[in-house]
Amino acid sequence: MSFEEIIRAYGYYAIFGFACIEGEIALLTAGFLAHHQLLSLPYVILVAFVGTLMTEQGIFFIGRFYGQQLLNKFPKLKEKTHIVFRFLHKYDTLFIFTFRFIYGVRNISPLVIGTAGISPRKFSSLNIPAAAIWAMSVAGAGYIFADALQLLINNFERYQKMILLGILAIGGILWGGIKWRRRIHSSSEVTKKHNSNKNV
């Protein structure tokens, strides 16, 4: 099978699987592939939406019925929940709506929200639109990025001098920063040596 055939045959299964975890990179890639007509953008969004929604709702109900037992059984897991409980206590509605966009707490958050006793109705009313926004925004960003990248490739000759100058400028700044840091470090070493000789 060619690469295109593999993508068309298994791409949506992969999107669903990655959407069940922190799958932003996979969804961005899917949006990119949709731009090149290897996948359908509406189907990409739909599959990602269903995958992330099913996962978060399932983890929420696990937290609601077994959350405290799990936290007591796994102390390391409990340590990671403190920041989530703190955010949930201060900004419950806002946090429920935005937790999937916060790196590092997404997977644990539904468990904590369920454990905290938030009603299923409130959680679902916020989680469903948040999941839709997540799927549309991330996949859409991949689609738009592909368009911008294609535009850059098409106009590379026109902008290559500007790109080269930009790379040289960044390289010069980095080189100057390294030289300056070495000079500061060497002068501080000289000062320390001088002070130690005076003390002797």
Residue for token digits 């926004």? 133
In one-letter notation, the amino acid at residue 1 is M
pLDDT in tens, 153-200: 565 556 556 656 776 777 778 777 777 777 766 666 656 555 555 555
Tokens 């707490």: give the residue. Answer: 105
- What average pLDDT does this structure show over 14-24? 89
The b/e string for 20-49 (b: 16+ C-beta within 10 A; e otherwise) is: beebbebbbbbbbbbbeebbebeebbbbbb
Q: Is 90 exceeded by the pLDDT of residue 64?
A: yes
What's residue 46's pLDDT?
97
The pLDDT assigned to 79 comes to 79
Task: Give dist(CA 45, CA 49) in Å, integer.
Answer: 6
C-alpha distance across the termini of the chain, in Å: 77
pLDDT band at 39 (very low <50, low <70, confident <90, very high): very high
Residue type, 174: L
The whole-angstrom separation of Cα 67 and Cα 85 is 13
Give the confidence band of 134 by pLDDT, cuts at 50, 70, 90. very high
The residue-averaged pLDDT of 149-153 equals 63
Q: Say what the pLDDT of residue 152 is.
A: 60
Is 39 within 8 Å of 142 (Cβ atoms)? no
- In this prediction the pTM is 0.72
Mean pLDDT of the chain: 83
Q: CA-to-CA distance for 46 and 132, rounded, in angstroms?
A: 8
Tell me whether residue 107 is exposed, middle or buried, using C-beta atoms within 10 angstroms of its C-beta: 0 to 12, 13 to 18, 19 or more. middle
Nearest CA-CA partner of 78 in 55, 111, 56, 103: 111
Residues 94-111 have pLDDT tens digits of: 999 999 888 778 888 999
Nearest Cα residue to 51 out of 113, 138, 125, 112: 138
User: How confident is the model at residue 90, as a pLDDT?
Assistant: 87
State pLDDT tens for residues 73-88. Answer: 888 888 778 888 888 8
